[in-house]
Structures are given as structure tokens and as C-alpha cells.
């Protein structure tokens, strides 16, 4: 199995963390987004969306980070990250969709305004967009904070794919380079949960790659 990724990509990181946590034998293939390698024809054959992560398993190609996480778990006998009981699995799925549909795009607005625009020569942050991004991040973080008031992990007493997914927008580019621009400091339960995630082996292994975020 091959997992195409970029170490500074939040979307890649959740797939990489899942592979490491499950101990799936995966060859990690770097796609350097700074060099535009995602736009090379050979990569576009794998993912016409020009995005990482992508998984290749014996000729089967899968893109979309959450689909990759689910696939890796389903291929791993005895795993506990992705429960098989119907309600428990639906609960995890709910948070994966929430992350992809709400939280990640909200943090994405702030990433774009504070970093990406500057990197690609589109000028400085637009205050109206920054305000919109901050409001959305606060709204969704508030929902998660309330949910975590009586839980150690998002779906109960043990980590699941939901935790490995949701942690990545909270700890990506913005949080690494300018934590003060990510308005989540006031959410105590989220902060405690983030501290808990940072004790996971898989977290530590993938954090090494964020050692020099100025190179992103």
C-alpha cells in the first residue's frame, strides 16, 4: 500500500496518523505541494482533484482523507478506531462529516487569509473574511467544547477516527505558525482534549514533520 501525502497538509496528516496508529504496512510517498507536484500528470492520474492524500492499494486508488481513514480501519482486523456496531459507527461518521463539512472549511478560511494568500501573491488578509472565519471557528469549537464536557474522547472513552480527524485542523498551519490567530483558547474542554491527543504515539510521530513550519 502507498500513501501519497505532504507532511504539512492537515488532510494528509489524519490519514498518516490513522495508518501509523493501526500499524498498517504503508509506504509513504511525499508529494511536494510547494513544487506543484500535485499538478504533474502522473499524480493527476491518481487524483484529478490535484490533492493529497491519496491511497494506492494493489491497483485500487482512493482519495479523500476520511474515506482513506475508514478504508485503512476496515482493512485492519481487531482495530478499535472505527467501531463496527451500527450506532457507534454512525456516531464516528457523524463527526467525520462534521469535520469535513464544517470545521475544516472554517479553519481553511483563516489559513487562506493569514498565510496562503500571501504565499501565492494574493495580498494581505481581508478583514471581513477573517471575521467570518473566526466566527465560524468559534461556533464549531463551541459545539465541540460542550460535547467534550463529559467525555474524554469525542466518541466516548477511547480514541476513534473522529479524534484523529478533528485534531488536524486545530493543530495545522495556523495553530503552528500563529496560534493567536486561531480563536480556540477559551474552550477549556477542547484544550484538555488537545493535550490528551498529544500524548498519543501517532501524534508524536507525525509532529516531527512540523518541526520547521516556516518552510511550509
Q: How far is the CB of 206 from ligand GSH (least distance, A)?
A: 14
Q: Could you tell me if 69 and 99 are in contact, meaning their C-beta atoms sit under 8 angstroms apart?
A: no
- Asked if 64 interacts with ligand GSH (CB under 6 A), we say yes
Write down the number of H helices and E strands in the chain: 11, 4
* Minimal distance, residue 9 CB to ligand GSH, in Å: 3
Positive or negative, the CA dihedral 132, 182, 33, 69 is negative
Contacts (CB under 6 A) with ligand GSH, residues 8-37: 9-11, 33
102 binds ligand GSH (CB under 6 A): no
10 vs 113, beta carbon nearer ligand GSH: 10
Burial 73-109 (b: 16+ CB within 10 A, else e): beebeebebbbeeeeebebbeebbebbbebbbebbbb
65 is a site residue for ligand GSH (CB under 6 A): yes
User: Least distance (Å) from ligand GSH to the CB of residue 108?
Assistant: 8
Nearest residue to 51 (alpha-carbon basis) of 33, 26, 71, 30 = 33
Task: Decide: is 117 part of the binding site for ligand GSH (CB under 6 A).
Answer: no
Q: Shortest approach of ligand GSH to residue 150 CB, angstroms?
A: 29
Contact residues toward ligand GSH (CB under 6 A) are: 9-11, 33, 38, 50-53, 64-65
Amino acid at each position: 500500500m502507498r500513501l501519497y501525502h505532504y507532511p504539512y497538509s492537515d488532510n494528509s496528516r489524519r490519514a498518516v496518523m490513522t495508518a501509523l496508529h493501526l500499524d498498517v504496512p504503508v509506504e509513504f510517498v511525499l508529494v511536494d505541494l510547494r513544487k506543484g507536484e500535485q499538478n504533474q500528470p502522473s499524480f493527476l492520474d491518481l487524483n484529478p482533484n490535484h490533492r493529497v492524500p491519496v491511497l494506492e492499494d494493489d491497483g485500487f486508488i482512493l482519495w479523500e482523507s476520511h474515506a482513506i481513514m475508514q478504508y485503512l480501519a476496515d482493512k485492519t482486523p481487531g482495530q478499535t478506531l472505527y467501531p463496527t456496531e451500527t450506532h457507534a459507527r454512525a456516531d464516528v461518521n457523524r463527526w467525520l462529516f462534521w469535520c469535513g463539512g464544517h470545521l475544516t472549511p472554517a479553519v481553511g478560511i483563516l489559513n487562506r487569509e493569514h498565510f496562503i494568500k500571501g504565499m501565492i501573491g494574493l495580498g494581505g488578509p481581508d478583514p471581513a473574511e477573517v471575521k467570518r472565519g473566526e466566527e465560524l471557528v468559534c461556533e464549531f469549537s463551541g459545539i465541540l467544547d460542550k460535547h467534550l464536557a463529559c467525555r474524554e474522547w469525542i466518541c466516548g472513552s477511547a480514541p476513534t477516527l473522529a479524534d484523529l480527524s478533528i485534531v488536524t485542523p486545530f493543530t495545522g498551519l495556523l495553530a503552528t505558525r500563529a496560534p493567536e490567530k486561531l480563536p480556540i483558547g477559551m474552550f477549556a474542554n477542547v484544550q484538555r482534549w488537545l493535550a490528551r491527543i498529544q500524548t498519543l504515539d501517532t501524534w508524536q510521530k507525525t509532529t516531527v514533520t512540523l518541526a520547521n513550519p516556516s518552510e511550509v
